[in-house]
Homo-oligomer: A and B are copies of this chain.
Amino acid sequence: MRRSIATVCVSGTLEDKLAAAAAAGFDGIEIFENDLVVSSLSPREVRERCADLGLTIELYQPFRDFEAMPDPLFRKNLDRAARKFEVMAELGVGTMLVCSSVHPEAVDDDDLAAGQLSDLSDLASDFGVRIAYEALAWGRHVSTWDHSWRIVQRADHPSLGLCLDSFHVLSREVDPAGIADITPGKIFFLQLADAPYLRMDVLQWSRHHRLFPGQGAFDLAGFVDLTLAAGYDGPLSLEVFNDVFRQADPARTAVDAMRSLIALEDAGLPGFPDLSGYAFTEFAVDANSGPELRGTLRGLGFAHTGQHRTKPVELWEQSGCRIVLNSAVARPQTAAITAFAISSADPSQSLQRAEALLAPAHPNVREPGEAELAAITAPDGTSVFVTDSANDWRNDFLPTGSTAAGAGLLGTDHLGLAQPFDHFDEAGLFYHSVLGLSPLSTEEYAAPFGLMRSRALTNKAGSIRLALSVSLLRRGDWAPAVSDPQHVAFTTADIVTTASALDLPRLSIPDNYYADLAARFALPDDFVSTLRSHGILYDRDSGGGELLHLYTPVLGGRVFFEILERRGGYDRFGEANAPVRMAAQRHSRLTSSSVRP
């Protein structure tokens, strides 16, 4: 199907928006009237610009407060429409969106609404224009799709049909199933937007919190299927009002938007190969952070087991945990997780799927004889390598002969990656559509330096887990916490034994935390005492599952490690303890204090 995007979805001037839509591969656009009104391009120039860019103009929108008005206002409205039809003729756009009235003088009279819409459609047809009538979820008298359809049926005009907007339909209680029974040809236009379920005024919800398909909670595939059943063959067009997207780089947003449609259609996309786990996590280090990370890895029971044949890159291992330290990446000031590798049952299919979903390929400089290790770039800039389960990449490393002492670490449980503010929802869709990770619920919590939002993703097997986080507001000058922290969490089957075997400082957890823990969960004193003595944090879910976890201090200004033990099916990430960790990290940086039990 053709793919279209409303200019209101992205930031910038109309020129910026058109360029972004074209570059992302859209076939067409909806012109949001305000974008045209403030533009220095004349309608004719817009038409030419679109033609040059290979974009069709699918819809002119919105025309407000038209139907069911007392006569003098109705006449004025027809005059107003005629002026817009003239603009549309210059633009070369054939369909106008008329949304249901919110005008205080609008009358609750379906016959009047149908009659006036019919008159409007007469006028429109003189200009070669069709009218797509849409029920706003907060329309004064018409606020549901079925009501708008009854009015369109009553008007029975060939130039009058429906515009169905998934937000307006799915945010209301009326069952959408009947959409399949709409007369073929009468759905003139389809607008798609996703959204999280929020308990708030529907207008504010719509104007600030819409998302691209797959980023929210709506069943958009089911919605599109209903319209297809009703014979809809127009474009799939995105209309997303989102506070973040409106101020983010439009080129990025448009690609995110296109990815959402490709994933929604799911036509001919390579499927998801099984992912068996993390092959390795790569840290960029320099002369300052390198020794600090090496020392910490040793203290965690890792050994430097391999040295890259041609590059200043070290492999550190312990059981199924693998860390690569790369000194060749120029990255000033802070250490960073620059890449991670996942083991796929079919790497080339994983990469084909990624490419089909517009995931940027990562330029990999490969020396002769080295393993092919293709990668894609995630929204936060991290490279995601995809390798097979044979782990051929390890042949690039010469064994050093060292063996890990071990501290009971078994493998990588998850990565924790702070996301850039503008790309948090993009990241969720990226990992969902490209790698097949399903988002768990989104959590919000108060951290010492502001509110945080976190979203965990996991594949069905739980072998690839990601914890993405972002500040609820973009950080300003007062942000003395670690900037964009990243971490790797390793699993152990027995955190107390592991903790005893560690030979390294760990993050100092305040006694107040343990006093509260004992009160909150009514835990036995000796258990709390054990936790306290090792700096282990604790969480319990409603099903009685438990998480025990501890942290190293922050290394190289940005990264740290976590060790965790999941008990009884605990499936989250200890988000409730994140403020404790963040305050302790701040304290540790101010005092350079950490505990070595």
Chain A residues near B (Cβ < 8 Å): 8, 11-13, 33-34, 36-43, 76, 79-80, 83-84, 87, 199-201, 204, 208, 243-244, 246-250, 421-422, 446, 448-451, 471-480, 508, 510-513, 515-516, 518-520, 522, 579-580, 582-584, 586-587
Contact B38 A522 (CB under 8 A): no
Which among A201, A471, A476 has the greatest number of chain B C-beta atoms within 10 A?
A476
Distance between A580 CB and nearest chain B CB, rounded to angstroms: 5
Residues from chain B with a CB closer than 8 A to the CB of A587 are: 13, 40
A518-B79 Cα distance, complex, nearest whole Å: 10
Given A200-B204, A522-B76: A34 touches B446 (CB 8 Å cut-off): yes
5 smallest beta-carbon distances between A and B, as pairs: A247-B450, A38-B583, A83-B519, A199-B201, A249-B478
Given A76-B522, A80-B519, A475-B247: A36 touches B512 (CB 8 Å cut-off): yes
Number of identical protomers: 2
Q: Contact partner of A11 among B201, B450, B516, CB < 8 A? A: B450
Contact B200 A38 (CB under 8 A): no
Residues from chain B with a CB closer than 8 A to the CB of A41 are: 510, 512
Residues from chain B with a CB closer than 8 A to the CB of A582 are: 38
Can you spell out 24 A-B residue pairs with CB atoms less than 8 angstroms apart? A11-B450, A13-B448, A33-B516, A36-B512, A38-B448, A39-B512, A39-B583, A42-B511, A42-B512, A80-B519, A80-B520, A83-B515, A83-B519, A243-B473, A246-B446, A247-B450, A247-B451, A247-B475, A247-B478, A248-B478, A249-B478, A422-B477, A474-B474, A474-B475
Query: Which residue of B has the minimal Cβ distance to A422?
Result: B476
Query: Which residue of B has the minimal Cβ distance to A248?
Result: B478
Residues from chain B with a CB closer than 8 A to the CB of A11 are: 448-450, 478
A516-B582 Cα distance, complex, nearest whole Å: 52
- 17 more CB-based (< 8 A) A-B contacts, given A13-B586, A38-B510, A422-B477: A37-B510, A37-B512, A37-B580, A38-B582, A38-B583, A39-B510, A39-B512, A40-B510, A80-B522, A199-B200, A208-B451, A243-B473, A246-B450, A247-B449, A249-B477, A421-B476, A473-B473
Query: Which residue of B has the minimal Cβ distance to A253?
Result: B478
Distance between A460 CB and nearest chain B CB, rounded to angstroms: 30
Residues from chain B with a CB closer than 8 A to the CB of A450 are: 11, 243, 246-247
Distance between A538 CB and nearest chain B CB, rounded to angstroms: 13
Contact B13 A84 (CB under 8 A): no
Residues from chain B with a CB closer than 8 A to the CB of A584 are: 38, 40
Contact B37 A513 (CB under 8 A): yes
Contact A248 B476 (CB under 8 A): yes
Given A33-B516, A34-B446: A451 touches B510 (CB 8 Å cut-off): no
Distance between A100 CB and nearest chain B CB, rounded to angstroms: 19
A34-B510 Cα distance, complex, nearest whole Å: 12
Residues from chain B with a CB closer than 8 A to the CB of A475 are: 247, 474
